[in-house]
A = this chain, B = another copy of it.
Amino acid sequence: MKKISQKTIERGVFYIRTLEALLKDGQTLISSNQLANITGFSDAQIRKDISSFGKVGRPGIGYSTAELRNILQDFVLKNEVVHVALFGVGSLGAAILKYPGFHKDGIKLVAAFDKMKNKVGATINGVKVYDPKRAVDVIKKTHADIGVIAVPKEHSQEVADIIVLSGLRGIVNFSPISIAVPKNVMVKNIDLRVEFFSLFCNMQYNCGI
């Protein structure tokens, strides 16, 4: 089996979301060129990415929107549902709980955790909030795959330790601080400051072009 690069996978997920939108509009065919115009990637890039998933398109015609979506989804998600455990039900955590479109898109929030006594026991958007002390148990029972850290940065490492201890091997970290984890645990950092700064900086450096 060929290995598929992380970048290809990330773009693949992006293609899927675009194809979903096209399907809703009733578009049954799409060319790499059209997809390029929508997504901003180059057409060559798109064809190359897709080719790593097999021969899906027809020369002269393009890709069947539905078929391409299905094939990408098979590869990227393998028809599985990603089970997510959320730590921290503050404003960011709440926003994640309310994020639309998870449910029908192969992502399922299976549990939330918060230290605050007044939050424990509540159910937000169908997701129960537990005491973090019960995390290891609950995570095992709910078969979570990924942990999300959305707690104040003072507690990030502590939560990361709990996640690792629970046996999860993937973490999305929204707290603006690095966490230390064993090498076999994958971490994705999402720091709004990093996004804003790097965008701003790139805007300026590209001004001169």
Seen from chain A, the residues whose Cβ lies within 8 Å of a Cβ on chain B are 3-4, 6, 9-10, 13-14, 17-18, 21, 38-40, 76-78, 80, 82, 84, 90-92, 94-96, 98-102, 105-107, 145-146, 152-153, 169-170, 172, 176-178, 180, 186-206
Contacts and interface: CB of A to CB of B under 8 A. Distances in A.
A198 B13 contact: yes
A128 to B, nearest CB: 18
Contacts of A178: 14, 17-18, 21, 38-40
A145 B200 contact: yes
Contacts of A80: 200
A80 to B, nearest CB: 8
B13 A197 contact: yes
Contacts of A105: 193
Contacts of A146: 196, 199-200, 203
B40 A187 contact: yes
Given A94-B91, A105-B193, A170 B200 contact: yes
B152 A189 contact: no
A90 B3 CA distance: 40
Contact of A4 (B78, B180, B194, B205): B205
A203 B100 CA distance: 24
Given A10-B198, A145-B200, A193 B91 contact: no
A3 to B, nearest CB: 7
17 contacts: A9-B197, A14-B178, A14-B189, A17-B176, A17-B178, A17-B194, A21-B178, A38-B178, A76-B201, A77-B197, A91-B98, A101-B176, A146-B200, A169-B203, A170-B199, A170-B200, A172-B195
A198 B190 CA distance: 13
Given A77-B200, A91-B94, A96-B192, 18 more contacts: A3-B205, A9-B201, A9-B202, A10-B194, A14-B194, A17-B178, A17-B193, A38-B178, A77-B201, A80-B200, A91-B91, A91-B98, A102-B192, A146-B199, A169-B203, A170-B199, A170-B200, A186-B206
